[in-house]
Structure 1
Amino acid sequence: MTDRKAQLAENLARVEERISAACAAAGRKREEVTLIVVTKTYPASDVRLLAELGVRHVAENRDQDAAPKAAECADLPLSWHFVGQLQTNKVRSVASYADLVQSVDRSKLVGALSTAAVRAGRTLGCLIQVALDAESGETGGRGGVAPDGAPALADAIAGAEGLWLGGLMTVAPLAGPYAGRQRAAFERVMEISTGLRSQHPAANMVSAGMSSDLEDAVAAGATHVRVGTAVLGVRPRLR
């Protein structure tokens, strides 16, 4: 085993212990939480090592990095998640490799994703990014739609050809009433999820929590956690 593979294996084991302990503390089964490893800024060689170590879900936030990486790893049994703010001019590329877009936050993006998915002959999963630092009609500081905008977006996704509605995604806000209150933020998103499922019962995914706050997300009920630094190490600076 190479030094890098050994390092990744050790880090994955540590993260696995954290998730398992958080599930036990919350009275949840470990299989209720899916680990997504955020591989942004890291090379395809790391993605390949992660796959060898059993990782099945990876995430990227910039199409210019993700597209060539996904192509290089096309032979691997991976699900690719796109988690960054997505401009409509990148949608056609993203729809060619992503299995799930977690950052849907406006109706124009829904239309563009639908068109691209149909053109690519693919069915694309979508999560609505909810921003708890956004007022009605606004966008959050890290992307996302205000909570009251989620139902209309859900209806749009559910009715769009080539798309399926998975549920919600959120990032702990840096401003607003939930700043520094990760557990409360994630619990609020779970409340929004409950409301969403009254109209869309199958939309039961909630992607929340990262390296620093995955325990809070698991405690609140998240079904997916997005972990990068704790698995891959401190990120190199983007040029």
Structure 2
Amino acid sequence: MSHTGPARTEQIRANIRAARARIEEACEKAGRDPSEVSLIGVTKTYPASDVRILASLGVTDVGENRDQEAAPKAAETADLGLNWHFVGQLQTNKARSVASYANVVHSVDRAKLARALGDRAAAAGRRLTCLVQVNLDTDSEAGVIGPRGGVDPGDVVGLAERIAEHEALTLGGVMAVAPRDGDPDAAFARLQEVAGVVRDHYPRATVISAGMSGDLEAAIGRGATHLRLGTALLGSRGPIVG
């Protein structure tokens, strides 16, 4: 099947429509306004042509997990004025690259990374919004960091302070990935609590980035403001980069 052209555009258009219907239904159940929920199209393993299709259909917030994929896509679609969200685990040595194109980094989980991103953004004359990634694995409080990364809920405010005090960074709020084998509602309820604590200290840090294609309803029910959707928008297929 061709991954460009009218057929691909129509497929993605239908997927967006279906995703928005799910969001509206979940918002209705939660007593929320759908306008409070932003949709981020996560384009990992999908080509830059899909990024262009998403943009043409009104999805201008785009997310990536790996700098090796994100940097060339951001360069190739620089004419579109997109908001790039970096949502994956990030090594400090990639901070310079990510700070050159990302608008929001969702996965800040240590002070060293926050400092590196801030210093690189400052050097590039840019400002970055950062979210504290919260580890929702139940064993995190025993000091075990889950495979998806994140900081223990008890350490979130300390890291938020490090972000907020850097002149080139804006503290946006929090992000989390639900544990693979856990109850997403319980996990996102915990995140909502943590988000409230952060907002008590930093009232403008209102972002709760939670929910992916399989658990967006639970996330919306627990206050998510940003959903990270890949499969729901672009379908399931093998790695294609370009």
TM-score scaled by length of structure 2: 0.94
Tell me which residue corresponds to 1:233.
Answer: 235
Q: Could you say what the CA RMSD is over the residues aligned between the two structures, in angstroms?
A: 1.4
Q: CA deviation at 1:233?
A: 0.7
The aligned counterpart of 1:105 is 109
Question: Paired residue for 1:115, among 99, 115, 119?
Answer: 119
2:207 corresponds in structure 1 to 205
Seq. identity, %: 57
In the TM superposition, what is the alpha-carbon distance from 1:190 to its structure 2 partner?
Answer: 0.4
2: CA distance, partners of 1:148 / 1:4 = 45
2:46–2:240 Cα contact (<8 Å) kept = no
Q: Which residue of 2 aligns with 1:218?
A: 220
**Cα deviations by residue, 1:83-116 (Å, 9 ceiling, x for unpaired):** 0100011110000000000000001101101110
Residue 192 (structure 1) aligns with:
194
Q: Does 1:160 align with 2:166?
A: yes
The residue number in structure 1 matching 2:154 is: 148
Q: Specify the code of the residue in structure 1 equivalent to 2:156.
A: A
SS in 2 for 1:75: helix
Cα-to-partner distance string for 1:3-62 (whole Å, 9 max, x where unaligned): 000000000000010001111111100100000010011111100011000101010000
Q: Does 1:75 align with 2:73?
A: no
Higher RCO, 1 vs 2 (CA within 8 Å, ≥6 residues apart): 2
Hey, what's the Cα distance between the residues in 1 that align with 2:62 and 2:35?
Answer: 17
Aligned length: 235
Unaligned runs of 5+ in 2: none
- Return the offset for 1:200: 0.6
Would you say the 8 A contact 1:129–1:145 is kept in 2? yes
Aligned to 1:9: 13
Distance in 2 of aligned mates of 1:11 and 1:37: 11
Partner residue, 2:49: 45
User: Which residue of structure 2 lines up, in the alignment, with residue 89 of structure 1?
Assistant: 93
Structure 1, unpaired ranges of 5+: none
TM-score calculated relative to the size of structure 1: 0.95
Deviations 1:154-197 (A, max 9, x none): 000000120000000000013xxxx4210111011001111111
**Quick check: 2:47–2:240 contact (8 Å CA) kept in 1?**
no
Farther off after superposition, 103-112 or 228-237: 228-237
Which runs of 4 or more aligned residues in structure 1 lie more than 4 Å from their structure 2 counterparts after TM superposition? Answer: none
Task: Name whichever of 220-229 and 127-136 sits farther off.
Answer: 127-136
Shift of 1:138: 4.5
The one-letter code of the counterpart of 1:71 is A
1:118-148 C-alpha deviation (Å, 9 max, x unpaired): 0110000000000011226543221111111
**Alignment partner of 2:79: what SS?**
coil
